[in-house]
Structure 1
Amino acid sequence: MIREVVITGDGSSTIHLPEWNEQYHSKHGAIQEAYHVFIKSGLHYLYNLPHANFKDASQNLSILEIGFGTGLNAFITLIEANTLEMNICYNGVEGYPVLGEEINKLNYASELKNNTEASLFKTLHDVSWEEAHKITPNFELTKTNLFFAEIKDKSKYNLIYFDAFGARVQPELWTESIFLKMYEALQNNGVLVTYSAKGSVRRAMQSVGFEVERLPGPPGKREMLRATKKSGC
């Protein structure tokens, strides 16, 4: 399948798949979307909950990313971990890892104007798969080469970034069976965030036990979804 590195609406890059007319991030702005959906609505939301204790340096926040892809979500989460001085254990799951020559064409470090962490974006991709790596004192990364349907984790994560390709091109990734795996992978009071707001996706989440909220979406999208596994479920 042909893959092209293209520039999105906020000046940041992504990978476009012409055959599917699909891209790894929003054409309206890759970085804007990532911050809005995954950082603001996921990481910051959990960090600021009254009952949360992630501001305690002795606590770890565990994140599962569904679709490690370009590494953008991991990169901005690393930056946030360092800024907030919170400890994050991050597992990025990917069935088809992005090629090195494609990674070299992505401009996230320069667009974020974060020279301190610029070299760390390359490190995220250079470290080996299937092993935990301490990228910074606050950020540990494990990259797992696995299809999403093969995930078997139970009550492990506080937060899931659900960033799979859209249901239009891969509907099998947005089913009850997949969201049941996500539900089981979360700890009680854990949260899943995704850019999608399709009614069928919301209903699939609710059918496996999630409490689902519609939230304002990133640029170019009216809404997004946040799902919570309530305590005692």
Structure 2
Amino acid sequence: LSPRKRVIAARDALGYLLQFLVNEGYIRSDLNFTTMEQWDNFHIKNLGLPLVKRLELNVVLNDALEYNAAQFLQHLNTICNYNAAKKCNKILASYSELRGFRNYIEHGNPLYDYQKADINNPFEQTDHRQKFTAPMFIKLIYEILPEFELIVKEFTDDYVPHMTPLVTEQENTQWSVACNRKYNINAFFNPCEKENKEGYECVEEAHDNTLEGECHYC
């Protein structure tokens, strides 16, 4: 993936976490709660279920949240190396915790699972995994997502196609000049000459809607 596509894919994965919990009725747009404790207390007072219990009972919801969280964290492993991530102090400070969360989702933690399980009643404690993952889902939504929007904004507003951390400004300029030139229909690698040839029309002026770094061919 290009940096821009990776950032957008990561943002989509985070957005799904919020969307799924809104669809579930756990998060409501008319309330300003930002912690799992606040949301749980609200639902319990209104005869609803806390998040851990919802995830235990709704396997589809649980799996969807885990999948999208893992997708975001996988992308974050690369995105943290982008210059745009340097301003995201919360994300960088939480990176070790987030990386551990991703490892738990993908591989589990036998020691944690063993310590939290009741060996005498193994079927009575089926939510120990959700007790670990649920708070992290809320952290991703209310702490990581707002700051990650700074990265998204930088890539969607100022992103120049084909620019990566390995491309210098001079190289990008040369790429942009090359890509904005017109090419003959049967000569992909040969730019058309100033004089028109029979059957072809050479247009030297760039279109108004041509973006820097965007390739256009005859």
TM-score interval, smaller chain? under 0.3
Structure with greater strand share of residues = 1
TM-score (norm 1): 0.26
Structure with greater helix share of residues = 2
Work out which of the two has the higher radius of gyration on C-alpha atoms and give 1 or 2. Answer: 2
- Looking at both structures, which has the greater relative contact order when contacts are Cα pairs under 8 Å and sequence separation is at least 6? 2
